[in-house]
Amino acid sequence: MAKRDYYEVLGVPRGASADEIKKAYRAKAKQLHPDRNKDCKVSEAAFKEVNEAYDCLKDDQKKAAYDRFGHAAFENGGGGFGRGNGHGDFGSAFADVFEDLFGDMMGRRAGGGGRSRASRGQDLRYNLRVSLEEAYNGAQKTITVPGSVACGACNGTGAEGAVEPATCPTCSGMGKVRATQGFFTVERTCPTCNGQGQIVKNPCQECRGAGRVQKERTLSVNIPAGVETGTRIRLAGEGDAGMRGGPAGDLYIFIEVKEHPIFMRDGRMLACQVPVSMATAALGGEIEVPTIDGGRSRVKVPPGTQSGKQLRLRGKGMPPLRHGPGLNGEAGDMLIELAVETPVNLTARQKELLREFEAINADNNPQTHGFFQKIKGFWDEMKG
């Protein structure tokens, strides 16, 4: 019986990408797998046909030959692509997607896929608190980071005397072994080397074959001006050391800016609340306010100022961390919110003067007058 077109078997068009071919194969393989179709000869034949088609189309060279010559490319050893059994290398085809289908259950992912001789170290996180002044000026901080470093006794090899590890005899350095069960092949992590592909015959006494030891390290960290809570600084290669000479991970420093007793921050904007006396608010005047750079600025208070009025000092806020869309490289502003302060602990003479002032102050409180006008209108509506 003539063979069907491989693209037709997988249900993909000619010119389909490798991902599309693999996705189609996975769907067909799941649908026709013998475990789901017990004692069904038709499904078994279709399953073999699907694997034969995928075995061809997943390989760039065989796919190119098939696209040009069709099935004739593999007859009589054509082009060296024939497998001699008429069904392609089913075990190889199925193994390529076995990880996607059953990899987590079989532990195939152990040891980074099994082919790497050494594994990368883990990334580390360090939470660092800085003051608002340090966030404004930038700072150089010294931190102590616990973690693992390459073992000095074996130079990270894990072997006594820094002898290079030997190739695993069980998996021949592949980190995985195959077991054929019926007409399909199962791949699993090599039990001898745990997927490393190498074994240490004489483990280092210092690190017990791991190639790394636990140790605290002291690092100097540059805190750039403009950082804020949530800013992340990456120090490449300062994480945990890798297993058996593998590359180290990275260290990520997460910044937290401490609350300030005077200033509140919102991005590049700073704000502070400044009390003013009743007399200064009424008559106007000048007040002196602090700035985050350690300086002082004099600010004019206009006559008749009410609590909550905001004044702005240009360029007295926080610097930008970096330039980008919407950031012009200039520092933000500082907002000053005025709080009119009511005097306390008055003397008898002060109370007398305030009562005199209250008696002649009928037309000097526009907000009070407007508020009671609204109340009067509300009561009139309720009565009506």
Q: What is the DSSP string of 198-227?
A: EE-SSB-TTTTTSSEEEEEEEEEEEE-TT-
Global model pTM greater than 0.85: no
Read off the pLDDT of each residue in 285-307 and give the average, rounded to a whole number: 93
Q: Which CATH number fits domain 263-341: 3.20.20.80, 2.60.260.20, 2.40.30.10, 3.30.420.40?
A: 2.60.260.20
pLDDT value at 132 more than 50 = yes
pLDDT value at 85 more than 50 = no
- Residues 198 and 165: their CA atoms lie apart, in Å, by 6
Read off the pLDDT of each residue in 58-69 and give the average, rounded to a whole number: 82
- Residues 92 and 97: their CA atoms lie apart, in Å, by 9
pLDDT of residue 34: 77
Is 207 assigned a ligand-binding role in the annotation? yes
Residues with Cβ within 8 Å of 6's Cβ and at least 6 positions away in sequence, in order, are: 52, 53, 56, 57, 66
pLDDT of residue 116: 40
* Share above pLDDT 90 across residues of the chain, in percent, rounded to a whole number: 38
> What is the dotted CATH code of the domain comprising 1-72?
1.10.287.110
pLDDT of residue 164: 75
Is 168 assigned a ligand-binding role in the annotation? yes
H-helix or E-strand containing 127?
Answer: strand 124-130
Is 272 assigned a ligand-binding role in the annotation? no
H-helix or E-strand containing 185?
Answer: strand 184-189
Strand order in the sheet with 251-257: 124-130, 251-257, 232-235
H-helix or E-strand containing 348?
Answer: helix 348-359
With helix as H, strand as E and coil as C, how does 282-293 read? Answer: HHCEEEEEECCC
Average pLDDT score, the chain: 81
Q: Where in the chain is the domain with CATH 2.60.260.20?
A: 263-341
Are the C-beta atoms of 37 and 43 separated by less than 8 Å? yes
Given pLDDT bands bounded at 50, 70 and 90, which one contains residue 297?
Answer: very high
Q: Where in the chain is the domain with CATH 1.10.287.110?
A: 1-72
Residue of 108 and 26 predicted with greater confidence: 26
Read off the pLDDT of each residue in 318-324 and give the average, rounded to a whole number: 75
176-209 pLDDT per residue, tens? 888 776 566 778 888 888 777 777 778 888 888 7
Classify each residue of 57-86 as buried b or exposed e, where b means 16 or more C-beta atoms within 10 Å of its C-beta: bbbeebbebbeeeeeebbeeeebebebeee
pLDDT of residue 94: 46
Sign of dihedral through CA atoms 160, 165, 169, 171?
positive
Highest average pLDDT, of 181-190, 224-233, 235-244, 317-326, comes from 224-233
pLDDT value at 114 more than 50 = no
pLDDT of residue 372: 67
